[in-house]
Amino acid sequence: MSSAEVRLVGEADVPTLARILVRAYMDDPLAAWICESRALRAELLEALYAARLAQMLPFGGAWCDPARLSVAVWIAPEQRQKSLRSTAALRRCLLRPQLVSRLPLLASGFAAMRQMRPSGPPHWYLSLLGTDPEARGRGVGSAVLEPVLQRCDRDGVGAYLESSNARNLCFYERLGFRVTGELRLPSGPKMWPMWREPSDAHT
């Protein structure tokens, strides 16, 4: 798929894309660590992703393909602090009775992830990338990333992400990302921070 076909996400896309993200992340190690119950996980993830997409719409960093099979959610350098603040909707998702006992563990893990993130130089942060499992291998995931990756190269700005699935590392490496470390979440999976330098070689 050509990156020219992808577009910014609109408000009407949020319910469909939230469900796509659930399908993409349902068996992800980080999602399983956040919520062990598979039945509750689907409900929780859909609420979380819908809240995150709605939160990011004003910043213009969410991109999808025409068929809405894949979505990438980016946080721009100038929006990083403001856009990462928890919204009331996000907090309500995590304060469900079934998760209350896990909140200290989750808070410790999320704090470790925040400490792992680079404080500088300015960079784009890939908050979410999800593709419907039935559409994987068609190039839609790479396509929805391209608008921001091209901008990174044009503007000379780096890009950063965290992966909790070892199988995805090669995919990101093909796009120019490199693993910069490793973190084991408390009683949970490993996380790999990845950094991409801007370069003409990526375009």
For the chain, domain boundaries: 3-202
| pLDDT number for residue 199 | 82
Within 10 Å of residue 88's Cβ, how many Cβ atoms? 8
| pLDDT number for residue 116 | 86
Confidence of residue 203 (pLDDT cuts 50, 70, 90): very low
Within 10 Å of residue 179's Cβ, how many Cβ atoms? 13
d(Cα 144, Cα 72) in Å, to the nearest integer? 6
d(Cα 156, Cα 19) in Å, to the nearest integer? 34
Average pLDDT over residues 168-183: 96
d(Cα 124, Cα 82) in Å, to the nearest integer? 14
Cβ atoms of 6 and 65 closer than 8 Å: yes
Enter the pTM of the model.
0.88
| pLDDT number for residue 139 | 93
Percentage of residues of the chain with pLDDT beyond 70? 90
Q: How open is the CA angle 149-152-157, to the nearest 5 degrees?
A: 140
Dihedral-angle region of residue 94 (phi above 0 means left; psi in -120 to 50 means alpha; beta otherwise): alpha
**How far, CA to CA in Å, does 16 sit from each of 46, 64, 89, 143?**
10, 11, 18, 18
Within 10 Å of residue 92's Cβ, how many Cβ atoms? 13
More confident residue, 18 or 121: 18
Average pLDDT over residues 193-199: 94
Average pLDDT over residues 154-160: 96
Kindly tell me if the per-residue pLDDT of 143 is higher than 70. Answer: yes
| Residue-by-residue DSSP string for the chain | --GGG-EE--GGGHHHHHHHHHHHHTT-HHHHHH---HHHHHHHHHHHHHHHHHHHGGGT-EEE-TTS-EEEEEE-GGGHHHHTSPPHHHHHHHT-GGGGGGHHHHHHHHHHHHHHS---S-EEEEEEEEE-GGGTTSSHHHHHHHHHHHHHHHHT-EEEEEES-GGGHHHHHHTTEEE---EEPTTS-EEEEEEE---GGG-
| pLDDT number for residue 28 | 94
**How far, CA to CA in Å, does 146 sit from each of 131, 152, 164?**
14, 10, 21
pLDDT tens, residue by residue, 44-99? 899 889 988 988 888 888 999 999 999 999 999 877 655 455 556 666 766 777 77
Domain 3-202 = CATH 3.40.630.30: yes
Instruction: Output the average pLDDT for the chain.
Output: 87
Least confident stretch, 112-116, 141-145, 146-150, 181-185? 112-116
Confidence of residue 10 (pLDDT cuts 50, 70, 90): very high
| pLDDT number for residue 3 | 59
